[in-house]
Structure 1
Amino acid sequence: MGPLNGFTVIELGGIGPAPMGGMILADMGAEVIRIERANGTDPKQMRDVSARGKKSVVLNLKQPEGVETLLRMIENADVLIDPYRPGVCEKLGLGPEVCLQRNPRLVFARMTGWGQEGPLAHAAGHDINYISLTGALFATGRRGEKPVPPLNLVGDMGGGGMLLVNGVLAALLETASSGKGQAIDVAMVDGAAQLMWMFHGFQAIGGWDASQRGANLLDGAAHFYDTYECADGQFISVGSIEPQFYALLKQLAELPEEEFGNQNDPALWPELTDKLAAVFKRKTQAQWCEIMEGTDVCFAPVLSFMDAPSHPANVARNTYIEVDGVTQPAPAPRFSRTPSTVSHGPHSLGQDTEATLAAMGFAESEIKQLLESGTLGR
């Protein structure tokens, strides 16, 4: 059983970072109950990886009976995940004050892009917008070219889903000692800003030029921290920052000392990048793996996410698993005594509605009445 066994999380249906956070909590052993609309997409049909380990309950929150049903469920929960824009839960009659009156120990986690307050709080947005306001997008890309979106990993997932889990776990720890719940304002723009912490420090000591893209140590400007094409059209990555790692790179790639001896002169980086590119073009990705993989060069082949599960290192660590025929990342992090697991794949829309309410103390007659009124769905 995972470390969160015994905790109950109610997740209001949403997209992106909130479901990701719920998935991680479910992997860790929490009972995660996802509240969905009757006309919503079916998680099982969509092969929604984020729905793994969760129960699916269809509940009409536009009906007073639906709101009351959810409040009764909240009385038995530890966490509520709210993925809506600020004020939506309040309009439904499900704001933090109401929910905490019903359950004073509840952790009410609110997942938004711009936060609960501020001039942009009620505006629509996506990952690309949130990372734009933090400098993360500006810093990503090649010099002289436009910024490149790093998928939706920085705002949605790292700055959103991971920050949500972090906040929930911290709040649960505090509740264990105080006996009181609280609301958490989780904003993707805040999370993306936190992910940029290192570069603020670099800028403060003159080690980074925030006005330039593709001109700094970790943004692809340095020849020893970049990706290179191989003879077969595949790519490899090197990150030989430390002097001893750079020395090994020179040795294994047979780089002449008279040309590559001055590692940290930015004025030489463009020229050395071109020269190193020519070297890596001489062999295939597999050949460079044979020479450098597993050494202190800080080297890896650049794999697609479809190829990654078959890499020997990932196979050895069981980094990926298959659930209902879908290859996906295994639960992380790894606990020595209470390991996380995936209890099951996505359930069909509303598959757990009646059983979940019965387990929470709803009488059979109440469930029947709620079904007949259209408050519940199967």
Structure 2
Amino acid sequence: MYPLKGIKVIEIAGLAPGPFAGMVLADFGADVIRVDNLLPGTSIDVLTRHKRSIAIDFKHPQRYQLIKRLICTADVLIDTFRPGVMEKLKLGPECMRKENNKLIYARISGFGQNGKYSNMAGHDINYIAVSGILSMLGRQNEKPTFPLNLLADFAGGGIVCVLGILLALLHRNRTGNGQVIDAGMTQGVSYISTFPYMLKQANLHFINPRGKNALDGGAHFYQVYETKDGKHMAVGALEPQFYKTLVVLLNLAPESLPEQYDTSSWPQMKTLFTSVFLSKTRAEWCEIFDGKDACVTPVVGIEEGVVTIPPAPAPILSDSPALCTRRDKSKNDDGSADITKHNEITAEELLLPRGRDSKSILKELGYADEEIDEFVNRGVVGIATKENKDNFKSKL
């Protein structure tokens, strides 16, 4: 049994964090229905596996009736709009929880529902900037460096929202009541950054300027080095025992080197390590370090097949695993489905046509065929057709 089987989630279509939260819930068995705005073609959202889509014109007067009916049947709503938008649509948490007191109303926003920036546009880079964590990321004497859009969108937004939903489901099991979740990405990324914040506050780390500390590129033993063939190796030998193994495998004499945490020697040691790693190819270094406790690994590209594409759901649960990424027939020795085996998924399969499941979803809500046809004819609802799917395929 999938752990979230029987949980119905309505996901208001949006950008990265909302779709990711919905995908995680769907991976573990929830029935996730993405509510798309009625636009031509296929959404560019790629975080769609195991989801269904209904396309509704958000500007049509009859959209309220449909979306309200959907939400009234749901366990969870993921709201990805700016603060106040759902209230303007008369679908805010106060209204909807009167209709469905068991509803868990999860709101993902950039700066939270209240405060100085709450109604201002922003993206991951803005949220990590005002959280303080961006000021700690980057090389010495260089401007702060942002790690793609992973920190706020996916960690502080998507995953923190999923955590809130699961906690709210536990609370509902005890009390019978839903609640509202404010998953502001700025607050979320601050929370997941508790460790570096507290290290700095305790004067244990990040006390030097950016790029001069052990974990931010200042140290030679926590660093990325180029190899002879233009590839790279990652070194993370923080502990003395691992550092000693690293030095020996680099064919350096430990007694001739400065003490590991002598910060004044770090620039010199980075220069030395740089020259040593440039002396061999990545494959040669892998032969030396594989299986050794030196905390040294190759930097591999996603195209090299070390992880599954797309990545498999995590964590792996022994008794209630996630859905397979595809309906493949991979089996373990005992005959059970092997969730670690995933076939490559094409772009066409990842991109979910808006309204692909509109008709079946409306039927589940109790609408008759005549009513559905009327919704379509009036432009309230869109249904994906083979024609617009073929048009999309031609653009891949």
TM-score with structure 2 length normalisation? 0.87
| 1:24 counterpart residue number | 24
Contact 2:4 2:30 (C-alpha < 8 Å) held by counterparts: yes
Aligned residues between the structures: 360
| TM-aligned CA deviation for residue 253 of structure 1 | 1.1
3-state SS in 2 of match to 1:9: strand
Which structure's relative contact order is higher, taking Cα pairs within 8 Å and 6+ residues apart? 1
1:328 to 301, 305, 310: 310
Amino-acid identity (%) = 41
1:355 to 351, 360, 366: 360
| TM-aligned CA deviation for residue 70 of structure 1 | 1.1
Q: Does 1:178 align with 2:183?
A: no
Q: Does 1:295 align with 2:300?
A: no
3-state SS in 1 of match to 2:310: strand
| 1:281 counterpart residue number | 278
Q: Which amino acid aligns with 2:253?
A: P
Matches of 2:50 and 2:212 in 1, distance apart?
A: 44
1:374 to 374, 379, 396: 379
Structure 1 residue ranges without an equivalent (≥5): 315-319, 321-326
3-state SS in 2 of match to 1:228: strand
Q: Which amino acid aligns with 2:16?
A: G
| 2:229 counterpart residue number | 232
2:241 to 239, 244, 269: 244
3-state SS in 1 of match to 2:209: coil
| Per-residue deviation, residues 24-66 of structure 1 (Å, max 9, x unmatched) | 11101101000012215514xx4x4301111010112322321
Matches of 2:107 and 2:24 in 1, distance apart?
A: 16
| 2:7 counterpart residue number | 7
3-state SS in 2 of match to 1:4: coil
Q: How does 1:120-159 map to 2 (within 5 A)?
A: 120-159=117-156
Q: Which amino acid aligns with 1:178?
A: T
Q: Which amino acid aligns with 1:337?
A: D
Q: Which amino acid aligns with 2:17?
A: P
2:322 to 340, 349, 357: 340
3-state SS in 2 of match to 1:110: strand
Structure 2 residue ranges without an equivalent (≥5): 328-348, 384-396
| 2:203 counterpart residue number | 206
Does the C-alpha gap of structure 1 residues 40 and 165 become closer, same or farther in structure 2, counting only changes over 3 Å? Answer: farther
Contact 2:244 2:254 (C-alpha < 8 Å) held by counterparts: no
| Per-residue deviation, residues 189-235 of structure 1 (Å, max 9, x unmatched) | 01111121111221232212356110111101111100001111100
Contact 2:35 2:54 (C-alpha < 8 Å) held by counterparts: yes
Matches of 1:55 and 1:359 in 2, distance apart?
A: 13
3-state SS in 1 of match to 2:379: coil
| 1:324 counterpart residue number | none
Matches of 1:157 and 1:40 in 2, distance apart?
A: 27
Matches of 1:115 and 1:246 in 2, distance apart?
A: 43
Contact 1:112 1:188 (C-alpha < 8 Å) held by counterparts: yes
Q: Which amino acid aligns with 1:221?
A: G
| 2:55 counterpart residue number | 58
| Per-residue deviation, residues 162-191 of structure 1 (Å, max 9, x unmatched) | 111111111111111111111111011011
Does the C-alpha gap of structure 1 residues 122 and 371 become closer, same or farther in structure 2, counting only changes over 3 Å? Answer: same
1:267 to 245, 264, 268: 264
| TM-aligned CA deviation for residue 76 of structure 1 | 1.2
Provide the alpha-carbon RMSD of the alignment: 1.5
| 2:341 counterpart residue number | none
1:78 to 56, 71, 75: 75
Matches of 1:69 and 1:92 in 2, distance apart?
A: 12
